[in-house]
Structures are given as structure tokens and as C-alpha cells.
């Protein structure tokens, strides 16, 4: 079976490629011209160079493909909406068109629980998306709408996977960024770090993606995916600080105050035309300030999904990765 994977050099895509190869399946990837792909060539992955906005390349890449795993995305709690939409919305539209023409047997779209708008209460898959004005989350809502539209209009066999907070070795938002903020003494907690993170280990997510790809029942369905744990932000951040041998954060804000400060920072950056990330963002505050509770009952029932990697093992993996990358020594010296 031939699988096309977008975002194959990212956290999720890279592990997905490895998992598919272990299963003995054929893998083709779409990689940007600037991507580091030599290691993929060495393991006999079919590499197609191009972007999600290059329709000719997409059509060629989708030819003879059985399944498409669309993992490519600009993931950020801050950014220029037009830039994010170019990849997350327009790119998805283009790939859907290529997959439709190629008559693929399954189109698996990697979305996010962020589409629910951070309600702070348990949310099942039937909940309607809730735009909040966060460029990344809103772009995934638009992209999902395109996926469902193709399902309705042309009968494309689609499945949407909505993971909660993804973590694991190399995860930028909740590993390298937080360790860097700890090192610079800029990390903070919201509401004492009491809210649940909805952690989703990358290996568990990849397991869910392959289960969804193999299941006929998944066609036309969406699934929440997480580890099913109740790890809080305080537990996670303190564990990460101890792992990196850095001081635990001492700053703490109530949710309302953190959101107000983040709003001021964002307004200031917009006013002076800065596009880099401010010290606090509303979306990051919402991650920390609302319980990320997304039941995985449907995935367990229909896909047979069960988390394989639990928090202690996930943390050990992060520690090994930090050491291999030489980051622990750097943090200790700083």
C-alpha cells in the first residue's frame, strides 16, 4: 500500500513515516525544497520536492497513492494569519483536490482539539467548532470545513483526527520552548498550573492515525485523541524543570490577569508592526488556563485505540532526547 505523508520532517510526520515503514508499507512524502531529507532518501522513501501550493507537484505526488496522511501545518500560538492560512487552509484545499483526482481510498487529516475554542469542559466530537480569533486554531477550523465539504460534494473518504496537546522528544511548543523559558526565568503558570493539559504523546497519536487509516468505520468520522491522563501544567512544568536541572517557575497569574496581560502584549506588537512572538499570547494562556478535557471514548470504541506511552515513559524519552541533542549541558552552563 502506498501512503503519501505531508509534513514528514515534522514531529508527527517523521514518526508516522517510521511507523509505516516498520509495517512494511510504501511511503511517499512531499517535502519543501528547504527541508532536510537526506536521511529519508537513505531509507528508500519516495521523496517529492514541492509545496502545498504547487498544484502540479501535488497532482504528481498523489498519483497511484492509496492513502493520504495530511500532517503538514503551520503550528503556532502566534503568527500572521495570511501566512498561516497559506499553508493550513489553501494547502489543504489543494491537496484535497489532488487526492480527489487520484481517487485515494482514504484522506486522513490531522486537525486539533483547538477547534473547540478552549471551553474548559469535556467536549466530544459532535461539538461545533468555535473560532476565537487565534490564527492557528481558526485556520484548522477552515481546513476542516474544506475536508468535510469534499466528503459531502465528491464522496472523498475522509477521517479527521483531533489531538490535544502533543508532546514528545523535540516538541517545540511544550518541550524546547518551555525549557528555554525556564532557562531564561520567563516561564509562568496560570491558576497555579492546576488545569489538565490533555497530553498526547506523539507515538500515541501516530498509533491513532494508523488505526484510523486501517478502519472502514473511520470514514466520515472525527476522533479526539489524547493519552487519557489528567496531568496538570504544574506537574508537567515542574517535571520538565527538574529534568533539565533548572529552577521551577515562581511566577503565577490568575487566568483573567494572564489573559489581560497577553492581550496587551499582542496589541502592542500589532501596533508597532512586530511579527515575532510576544512574551505572552492569548492562545498560550488559554492552553494553560483551561482544562483540556477531550474524551477519547469514541476512538477507543470504534478504532480500538488505547494509549501505549504513558507520562513517565514520555518524560524519560524527552530526557534522553535532551541529552542526545546536547541541550541539558547547555542549560546547566547558562
From residue 79, alpha-carbon distances to 70, 145, 164, 260, 277 in Å are 21, 21, 20, 19, 7
Mean pLDDT for all residues in the chain? 93
Q: Is residue 87 situated within a structural domain?
A: yes
- Classify residue 60: in a domain, yes or no: yes
Instruction: Let me know if residue 72 belongs to a domain.
Output: yes
Angle between helices 282-289 and 255-272 (to 10 degrees): 160
Given a cut of 50, whether residue 145 has pLDDT beyond it is yes
Identify whether 70 is part of a domain: yes
Greatest pairwise CA separation for the chain in angstroms: 58
Query: What pLDDT shows up at residue 15?
Result: 95
Q: What is the pLDDT of residue 39?
A: 65
Residue 231 has pLDDT above 50, yes or no: yes
Residue 256 maps to a domain? no
Q: What is d(CA 261, CA 254) in angstroms, rounded to the nearest whole number?
A: 11
Please report which confidence band the pLDDT of residue 37 belongs to, taking 50, 70 and 90 as the band edges: low
Is 83 part of a structural domain of the chain?
yes
**Is the residue at 333 inside a domain?**
no
CA-CA distance, 34 to 206, in Å (whole number)? 25
Is residue 182 assigned to a domain? no
Phi, psi of 240 (to 5 degrees): -70, -40
Can you give the three-state secondary structure of the chain, one letter per residue?
A: CEEEEECCCCHHHHHHHHHHHHCCCEEEEEECCCCCCHHHHHCCCEEEECCCCCHHHHHHHHCCCCEEEECCCCCCCCCCHHHHHHHHHHHHHHHHHHHHHHCCCEEEEECCHHHHCCCCCCCCCCCCCCCCCCHHHHHHHHHHHHHHHHHHHHCCCEEEEEECCEECCCCHHHHHHHHHHHHCCCCEEEHHHCCECCCEEHHHHHHHHHHHHHCCCCCCEEEEECCCCCCEHHHHHHHHHHHCCCCCCCEEECHHHHHHHHHHHHHHHHHHCCCCCCCCCHHHHHHHHCCCCCCCHHHHHHHCCCCCCCHHHHHHHHHHHHHHCCHHHHHHHC
> What's the pLDDT tens digit per position in 315-326?
999 999 988 877
Q: What pairing do the DSSP bridges indicate for beta strands 188-190 and 67-70?
A: unpaired
Q: Residue 103 and residue 66: Cα distance in Å, rounded? A: 8
What's the whole-number mean pLDDT along residues 227-234?
97
CB atoms under 10 Å from CB of 47, counted, come to 17
Give mean pLDDT, residues 249-261.
97
Q: What is the pLDDT of residues 290-329, one digit of tens each?
A: 999 999 999 999 999 999 999 999 999 999 998 887 766 5
Return the pLDDT at 41.
61
The CATH number that applies at residue 129 is 3.40.50.720
The whole domain housing 51 covers 2-175+198-231+293-310
**Number of separate domains in the chain:** 1
- Of 331, 300, 290, 320, which Cα lies nearest the Cα of 120? 290
Amino acid at each position: 500500500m502506498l501512503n503519501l505523508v505531508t509534513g514528514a520532517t515534522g514531529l508527527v510526520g517523521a514518526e508516522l513515516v517510521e511507523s509505516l515503514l516498520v509495517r512494511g508499507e510504501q511511503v511517499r512524502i512531499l517535502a519543501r525544497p528547504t527541508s532536510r531529507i537526506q536521511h529519508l532518501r537513505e531509507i528508500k522513501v519516495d521523496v517529492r520536492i514541492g509545496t502545498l501550493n504547487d498544484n502540479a507537484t501535488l497532482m504528481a505526488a498523489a498519483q497511484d497513492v492509496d492513502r493520504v496522511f495530511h500532517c503538514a501545518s503551520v503550528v503556532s500560538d502566534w503568527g500572521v494569519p495570511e501566512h498561516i492560512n497559506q499553508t493550513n487552509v489553501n494547502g489543504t484545499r489543494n491537496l484535497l483536490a489532488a487526492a480527489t483526482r487520484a481517487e485515494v481510498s482514504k484522506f486522513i487529516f490531522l486537525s486539533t482539539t483547538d477547534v473547540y475554542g478552549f471551553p474548559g469542559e469535556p467536549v466530544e466530537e459532535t461539538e461545533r467548532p468555535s473560532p476565537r480569533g487565534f490564527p492557528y486554531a481558526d485556520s484548522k477550523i477552515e481546513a476542516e470545513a474544506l475536508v468535510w465539504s469534499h466528503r459531502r460534494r465528491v464522496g472523498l473518504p475522509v477521517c479527521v483526527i483531533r489531538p490535544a496537546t502533543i508532546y514528545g522528544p523535540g516538541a517545540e511548543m511544550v518541550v524546547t520552548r518551555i525549557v528555554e523559558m525556564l532557562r531564561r526565568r520567563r516561564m509562568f503558570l496560570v491558576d497555579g498550573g492546576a488545569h489538565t493539559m490533555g497530553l498526547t504523546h506523539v507515538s500515541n497519536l501516530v498509533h491513532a492515525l494508523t488505526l484510523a487509516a486501517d478502519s472502514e468505520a473511520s470514514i466520515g468520522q472525527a476522533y479526539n485523541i489524547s493519552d487519557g491522563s489528567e496531568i496538570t501544567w504544574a506537574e508537567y512544568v515542574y517535571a520538565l524543570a527538574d529534568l533539565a536541572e533548572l529552577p521551577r517557575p515562581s511566577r503565577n497569574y490568575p487566568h483573567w490577569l494572564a489573559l489581560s496581560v497577553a492581550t496587551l502584549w499582542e496589541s502592542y506588537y500589532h501596533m508597532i508592526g512586530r511579527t515575532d512572538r510576544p512574551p505572552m499570547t492569548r492562545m498560550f494562556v488559554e492552553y494553560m488556563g483551561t482544562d483540556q478535557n477531550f474524551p477519547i471514548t469514541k476512538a477507543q470504541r470504534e478504532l480500538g485505540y488505547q494509549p501505549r506511552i504513558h507520562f513517565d515513559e514520555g518524560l524519560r524519552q524527552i530526557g534522553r532526547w535532551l541529552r542526545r541533542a546536547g541541550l541539558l549541558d547547555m542549560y546547566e552552563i547558562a
